[in-house]
Every structure is written in C-alpha cells, then in structure tokens.
Amino acid sequence: MYEFKYTPENGYYMAKMSRSDHNELFSKRQINIWKSYTYAVNEDKGHFVMMRHASPLAIVLSILAYPFIMLIHGIANYKEINDEYKRNLNWKRYGSFCCDEIIKREGSSLYQDAMAKLSKK
C-alpha cells in the first residue's frame, strides 16, 4: 500500500500558489481545467514538491459520465472502473499523482523564485 510521505510528521507543510504565478514559473507544467497542483515544502531540507492530480472539475465531470462509461466499457469491467475512480478521488491515499521536485541548489534560482511566490495554507 502506498504511504503519502509529504506530511507534517516528515517536516513538510502544504502551500498555495496562484495559477498565474505557477504558469509563469513553470512554462512546461501549465495548469489547465483538467489538472490541479498541490505544493509541499520542507525548508529544512530545501525541498519543494509539486503534485499534479485531477482537478475538481475533471472529477465532477467524470462522476457525471460514470453511467455512460459503464455502458461503453461494459458492466463486466466494473471493478477496474471503480478502482480507477477510487484512485482519482483519493489521490493522496493511493499515490495517484505525478510529482515534480525542486531541490535548493547553488547557481539555480528556481527554488528561491518558487518560494517567493508561495503562501502557506
């Protein structure tokens, strides 16, 4: 079973960043209506983590489409479909997210720029 490691017990705190700041800093990781980002920071280790997961709008639309998906894929596949929904709805619990990590390094200003745009939750 997956264990979420970006917790306060491990020295991380959750932070927020505006969509415009995120898109300005990370040109290859743009936020759109289908994906959301959650940020975890450990200042002692100099560690900044961006976790990409399904946005609330994407989750709502997929829930509304559930009956059609069951018809298209067949009722025989309901276990796989339900497992996929469970992973998307509980992304922290099941590790259903992509993670990009930024480490504080000399000669790189990305960590400092990201930290300047963050606000604590």
- Phi, psi at 56, each rounded to 5°: -60, -35
In this prediction the pTM is: 0.83
Question: What's the mean pLDDT when you consider all of the chain?
Answer: 90
Per-domain residue ranges of the chain: 8-120
Q: Report pLDDT digits (tens) over 29-69.
A: 999 999 999 999 999 999 999 999 999 999 999 999 999 99
- In the chain, the N- to C-terminal Cα span, in Å, equals 27
| pLDDT for residue 17 is more than 80 | yes
Amino acid at 114: A
- DSSP code for 91: H
| pLDDT for residue 107 is more than 90 | no
State the Cα–Cα distance between residues 102 and 109, nearest whole angstrom. 10
